[in-house]
Amino acid sequence: KSFLNHTAFLSCSFPNSQKIDPKDLRVFWQKGANEVVHEVYYGHEKHDNLSPKYINRTKMDVDKWTLQLLNAGIVDEGVYKCIVQHRDKGSPKLIHSSECLLHIIANYSQPEIERLHAGELKPKEYLNLSCSSSGGYPEPKQMSWLISYENKTQTFIHHMDVSQDALTKLYKVTSKLDIPVPTNTPTNISCLLHLGEQLGSLVSVPLGI
């Protein structure tokens, strides 16, 4: 995993247990069937075969067998293959091949609650709220609403509208809530954006009614 516009680290997982001199190895990384991302040709970086979008964006750490991909974007997501060949009696022989999967993460803005109507709140009317968050990636799991009063908290999960920017590929999400106007007791309403198991959740500033 790598944050958007940061450096991604891709591991080749090559143990080099025989301690072969890198000058006797040809190492290249590719994405998909025909995009060459990086090539080290018997100790020297070679740029002839590189896919144009990776030129000046990669660095190989031969000690750790990792590739640094600079300024990682959403288009860089996918499977990368690391191939190591050993110069054996003049002809290259495949001695290692491994794959790693790159996921890109972009931080969502803090969810923000907005009232969809003006004027005073009156009993027996409905409270119309919207909650939005934007600028994130990947698509979140869901949005939920927490309504707290006295010592109780209720959770509501409503439909989440999702839109993706055609250019940046970043997402904007919105959820709406219609509830009767709370009476007689102070109520706090919060909105929670669930980003998935490893990324956790983002919560809005509570709205007090």
- Beta-bridge partner residues of 66: 11, 61
- Between CA 93 and CA 79 the distance in angstroms is 23
In degrees rounded to 5, what are phi and psi of residue 189? -120, 125
Chain Cα centroid distance, residue 37: 21
What does the pLDDT read at residue 62? 79
Backbone angles phi, psi at 170, to 5 degrees: -85, 155
Looking at residue 154, what is its pLDDT?
87
Q: Which conformational region is residue 24 in: left (phi greater than 0), alpha (psi within -120 to 50 degrees), or beta?
A: alpha
Length of the chain: 209
| Token pair recorded at residue 138 | 């990947």
Domains and CATH numbers, the chain: 2-105 (2.60.40.10), 112-208 (2.60.40.10)
For each of the chain's 209 residues, which pLDDT tens digit applies?
999 999 999 999 888 777 888 788 889 899 988 899 999 888 788 888 888 889 899 998 877 889 999 999 999 999 999 999 988 777 788 999 999 999 999 999 999 999 887 767 776 788 889 999 999 999 998 999 999 988 888 898 988 999 999 999 999 999 999 888 777 788 899 999 998 777 788 999 998 88
Which residues lie closer than 8 Å to 150 by C-beta, 6 or more apart?
185
